[in-house]
Amino acid sequence: MSGGWNREYVEEKYWNELKKRLNTLRSRDLIGRFDVAGSFRRGEDTVGDLDVVVESHEEGRKKLSAELADWEHSDELLGPSDGIMMIRTDEIQIDFDLVEPESYGSFLHRSTGNWRHYEELREYARSEGYGI
């Protein structure tokens, strides 16, 4: 589909079911927090892909990969490699950013907000002796 998919369609067909799977993994302490990012999180009417930030450790990443390879919508699973995993479905690509707990908040901000704002915030933090 050129220009992206209707937000409600993506939420109903993919995100709601994916949330249930991720909550199951979280209840087994294999992942921590997770949330959608990108255009979906910003409330855009159409989305080109689904971006998900997941707080995880090494064991959790392996289990997440195995769990999602099994998902009925998964046509192809790539990763996890360098903290990134992707699922290709027959309609949409779902990108997962698998991050350490201490990086979750800043990564969610970076993956959702205005890139220029993030860069300015990062420079300010750096000038104060901090990092994001």
pLDDT in tens, 17-63: 999 989 998 999 989 999 999 889 888 899 989 999 999 988 888 88
pLDDT score recorded for residue 3: 67
Structure tokens at 6: 């209707």
4: region left, alpha or beta (phi > 0 left; psi from -120 to 50 alpha): left
What span, in angstroms and rounded, lies between the C-alpha atoms of 123 and 132? 9
Give pairs for 86-89: CB < 8 Å, separation 24+. Answer: 89/14
